[in-house]
Amino acid sequence: MSGTMETIGFIGIGNMGSPMALNLSKAGFPVVVYDVNTAKAVKFAADNGVSAASGLADLGARCSIVVTMLPDGHVVRKVMLGAADDGLAAHLKPGALVIDMSSADPIGTRELGGMLKGKSIDLIDAPVSGGVARAHDGTLTIMVGGDEPAAIERAKPVLAGMGKQIFETGPLGSGHAMKALNNYVAAAGFAAASEALIVGERFGLDQGIMVDIMRTSTGRNFATDVTLKPHVVEGAFASGFALALLAKDVKIAADLAEGLSLDMPLARTTSKMWLTARDDLEQGVDNTAAYKAWKARASR
């Protein structure tokens, strides 16, 4: 069966990318991995029975479909185009398909799509939601944007190897817009719940009981159901998604609203809260650690 399946190049072997690439292999796809950390990619390949590319030129020569799972759209563009049009796109064959599963600025995605189209390469954006746990389970929610229906149909078997719910959101960039807006809603919920815990603790309420009440009441959201108890109340602060990445996503949502000439004060305020928390804390901390920054500021 695998002999009839297209070879998938997977770029970005991080907390999310590693299980996603592994699930593609389990689904029967030949997988070639690449990461800027060459040792990580080589080890992942050896541990999981897939192949590691020696570089972008090698990956481009071997793969007809490429999945990117990178920190942001700027990194995706650098990988694709390089410093002087010497990136991956220069090594892909005409007719190749790039599936960008990173979180990125939707306007930048549309611009990159136009550049790749000039090289006879199709681009779709297919960011994910569900976190590390669902990346491992292969049950991610995937939001797909693209201008070419045939490219989306071609991508669907690949996406089905990593996700359970696949939504077509519209033209190129719409997946990235939806991902940013979804993460804005999640971030606003976490921020509101965090402030409630800070106030409640100062008043004398037990934070564990507060979470139990909120998760069975009208204040229920993803934060109350999943992250607050283990990562804030119990102090793990290790959900697997970096604070800087979530702050970036919320800013994309706020900037999108501004770019559309929409006055969205909550989006602006939420973005400012997350950017401030990012700047207050050390680099690389988990997004749930934002609670620490907000608590410290609340007592000033």
Kind and range of the H or E run holding 106: helix 106-117
In this model, does residue 284 exceed pLDDT 80? yes
> Token match 């037990």: residue?
206
Strand partners, 167: 143
In this model, does residue 75 exceed pLDDT 90? yes
From the number of C-beta atoms within 10 Å of its C-beta (0-12, 13-18, 19+), residue 162 rates as: buried
Backbone angles phi, psi at 286, to 5 degrees: -70, 150
Confidence band of 259 (pLDDT split at 50, 70, 90):
very high
% of the chain with per-residue pLDDT over 70:
99
**Would you please indicate which residues are annotated as catalytic (active-site) residues?**
179
The pLDDT of residue 2: 40
Alpha carbon distance 112, 144 (integer Å) = 16
In this model, does residue 79 exceed pLDDT 50? yes
The backbone region for 69, taken as left when phi is positive above 0, alpha when psi lies in -120 to 50, beta otherwise, is: beta
The residue-averaged pLDDT of 246-275 equals 97
Task: Look up residue 87 and give its two tokens.
Answer: 């990136």
In this model, does residue 122 exceed pLDDT 70? yes
The pLDDT of residue 256: 96
Alpha carbon distance 138, 123 (integer Å) = 22
- If we measure between CA atoms, which residue out of 222, 218, 268 comes closest to residue 241? 222
Coil, helix or strand at residue 40: helix
The one-letter code for the residue type at 23 is: N
Higher-confidence position of 131 and 4: 131
- If one counts every other C-beta atom within 10 angstroms of the C-beta of residue 2, the result is 10
Alpha carbon distance 81, 254 (integer Å) = 27
From the number of C-beta atoms within 10 Å of its C-beta (0-12, 13-18, 19+), residue 209 rates as: exposed
